Amino acid sequence: MAGLRRVFRYARACAFAWSGAGRRARSRLDGTRAALLMYHRVVPAADAARNAVEPGMFVTPETFERHLAWLADAFSVLPLHEIVTRLAGDLPLPPRACAITFDDGWRDNHDFALPALERRGLPATIFVVTDRVGTEGSFWPDEVCRRMASLSGAAQRALVAAVGAALHGDPVESLLSHLKQMREEARGRALDRLRSETRDPSAGARELLDWSECDRLARAGVEIEAHGATHAILTGVSRDEAERELRSARERLLERGHGRRGLLAYPSGAHDEAVRRIASGAGYRAAVTTESGLAHAGSDPMALPRVGLHDDASRTRVEFLRAVPGWA
């Protein structure tokens, strides 16, 4: 089934290019719009398979290298803060303007993405979870994927039912979707049950950046900005908790010499009017979401859309060129 989906995506991208739709889509990046590219992890395929990394959460180093080559060939890559400033001032952008962003602050961003960016001299922004910098492990969705991977299909389905989630196709995706919609306390109880019945084969490993790696990235032109203090889903906590989460992250980054651009990526992309207002009051000048689209002068600076990229859907040039102008 996955192979058929892959063939279909490639065929669709080819048809998009051959019809001329790709060229028309790229023409929208005409100096009034920008594509803010969203990555998470840059992981070798074998590591991704061994650690049950979600397919939509990574590109391989080889794919990322190709992306950078295609960007250098056909687009203008700018620092995110420069695009934000130009859009806010209604100032023109270069044609086919893009920015490269990463969410979460994975150690592999330093080990694999940074060397590729340095070879091309390209800027990027990494949004880190400040309380997790330098700590062991990863985030609960990644832990869920690994723990579920150790179970049989029947055991996965039974666990999904046990925590009250509806099964829609893949059990892991169903469980993740259910957990993301829960409030923090209820999610914690569900995760405790999962942990009591499964094992995490990667427990104890450090998968996230530490501060020295953040400093090294910054010296190389990769800006370190905020993704919350603990990665709490801000629409699922009280307004006071959301404010503490965002203020703490900003203050911690500034203490460490980072976060000077005042940029934020909402954890899990979750935001609403109250969260946007809290973020602005906490000193953030712009925030990015996981919503798909192109940023333009009329965009709410506290809710800028991005273009998500992952390995399964952007491995070839034709697929990449379909996705980047905002036609995922």
Q: Are residues 125 and 223 in the same domain?
A: yes
Q: Are residues 83 and 213 in the same domain?
A: yes
Q: Are residues 85 and 184 in the same domain?
A: no
Exposed, middle or buried by CB within 10 Å (0-12, 13-18, 19+), for 149?
Answer: middle
On the CB side of 88, CA atoms within 13 Å amount to 13
**Residues 170-197: tens digit of each pLDDT:** 899 999 999 988 888 888 898 998 888 8
Contact 43, 310 (CB under 8 A): no
Give a yes or no: residue 262 inside a domain. yes
**pLDDT value of residue 328:** 45
DSSP string, 281-322: HTT-SEEEEEEES-EETTS-TTSEEEEE--HHHHSSHHHHHH
Give a yes or no: residue 328 inside a domain. no
**pLDDT value of residue 13:** 84
Strands 295-296 and 304-308: unpaired
The residue count for the chain: 328
Give a yes or no: residue 149 inside a domain. yes
Q: Are residues 120 and 151 in the same domain?
A: no
Contact 165, 174 (CB under 8 A): yes
Q: Are residues 77 and 16 in the same domain?
A: yes
Nearest one of 46, 75, 30 to 323, comparing CA atoms = 75
Q: Are residues 44 and 19 in the same domain?
A: yes
The backbone torsions φ and ψ at residue 9, rounded to the nearest 5 degrees and listed phi first, read -60, -40
Q: Are residues 19 and 106 in the same domain?
A: yes
Nearest one of 167, 82, 166 to 125, comparing CA atoms = 82
Distance between CA atoms of 162 and 194, rounded to whole angstroms? 10
Q: Are residues 155 and 294 in the same domain?
A: no
Structure tokens at 3: 């192979």
Distance between CA atoms of 183 and 12, rounded to whole angstroms? 38
Total count of domains within the chain: 2
Give a yes or no: residue 102 inside a domain. yes
Q: Are residues 30 and 119 in the same domain?
A: yes
Residue 32, SS3?
Answer: coil
Q: Are residues 30 and 144 in the same domain?
A: no
Distance between CA atoms of 42 and 122, rounded to whole angstroms? 16
Give the residue carrying structure tokens 């906490």.
282
**Considering the entire predicted model, what is its pTM?**
0.93
* Domain boundary pick from 197, 216, 237: 197
* Domain boundary pick from 152, 171, 197: 197
Q: Are residues 131 and 272 in the same domain?
A: yes
Alpha-carbon distance values, 285 to 184, 248, 288 (Å): 27, 16, 11
Q: Are residues 154 and 118 in the same domain?
A: no
**pLDDT value of residue 126:** 98
CA angle 114, 118, 122 (to 5 degrees): 100
Q: What Rg do the C-alpha atoms of the chain give, in angstroms?
A: 20
**pLDDT value of residue 25:** 83
Distance between CA atoms of 267 and 252, rounded to whole angstroms? 17
**pLDDT value of residue 23:** 83
Q: Which domain holds residue 164?
A: 140-197
Distance between CA atoms of 60 and 115, rounded to whole angstroms? 13
* Domain boundary pick from 151, 177, 197: 197
**pLDDT value of residue 164:** 85
Q: Which helix (H) or strand (E) segment is 24 a member of? A: helix 21-26
CATH code (residue 229): 3.20.20.370
Give, for all 328 residues of the chain, the pLDDT tens digit.
567 777 878 888 888 888 888 888 888 899 999 999 999 999 999 999 988 898 889 999 999 999 999 999 999 999 999 999 999 998 999 999 999 999 999 999 999 999 999 999 999 999 999 999 999 888 898 889 999 988 899 999 998 898 888 888 889 999 999 998 888 888 889 899 888 888 887 767 889 999 999 999 999 999 999 999 999 999 999 999 999 999 999 999 999 999 999 999 999 999 999 999 999 999 999 999 999 999 999 999 999 999 999 998 899 999 999 889 855 4
Structure tokens at 229: 């203090």
What is the widest separation between alpha-carbon atoms in the chain?
A: 56
Nearest one of 1, 16, 2, 115 to 316, comparing CA atoms = 16
Distance between CA atoms of 178 and 155, rounded to whole angstroms? 17
Give a yes or no: residue 91 inside a domain. yes
Give a yes or no: residue 279 inside a domain. yes
